[in-house]
Amino acid sequence: MAKTYTIGETAEMFGVPESTLRFYDKRGLLPFIERDEADRRVFTEMQISLLKTIQHLKNTDMTIGQIKQYVDWIVEGDATIPKRLAMLVAHRQDIYDQIAMREASLDGVNFKIARYEKYVNEQREKEND
């Protein structure tokens, strides 16, 4: 018997409200999810693993729509592996771009910080006259 999780346990595990998991399910991000006798969602390792992937994709600004495409391809089976591979390779480039943009903007912010620090230090010196 593989371990399973309730929606509450899963939500806590991922640090999201249960409503978010229900929203993802409604949007088709959690295929193959089963229900118990009382119609409650049963999260298996498969869902947990998929949710981890979904979090990586979300953390890197992939839209729900694109994630759904990826999940739909998983549902279609191994024949879509080349498509999934191409999607992830393209997305990896997006991630590189996101990081590069942030590093560039970080430089701009650091420049401002340096100017403000200089000003603050000069004011402090004047006071200590």
Write the binding mask 24 to 43 for DNA: x where contact by CB under 7 A, - elsewhere: --x--------x-xxxxx--
Q: How many residues bind a copy of itself (CB under 8 A)?
A: 35
Q: Per CB under 7 A, does 9 bind DNA?
A: yes
Residue (18 or 72) nearer to DNA, CB = 18
Q: Which is nearer to a copy of itself, 34 or 97 (CB)?
A: 97
How many Å apart are CA 80 and CA 29, to the nearest integer?
A: 17
Minimum distance of a copy of itself from residue 89's CB (angstroms): 6
Nearest to 49 by CA among 73, 29, 63, 27: 29
**125 is a site residue for a copy of itself (CB under 8 A):** no
Residue 66's identity, in one-letter code, is Q
Query: Which residue among 37, 39, 78, 127 contacts a copy of itself (CB under 8 A)?
Result: 78
C-alpha distance across the termini of the chain, in Å = 76
Residue carrying structure tokens 């200590």: 128
- The per-residue b/e assignment along 46-63, b for 16 or more CB within 10 angstroms, e otherwise, is ebbebbeebeebeeeebe
Among residues 19, 40, 52, 76, which is the contact residue for a copy of itself, using CB under 8 A? 52
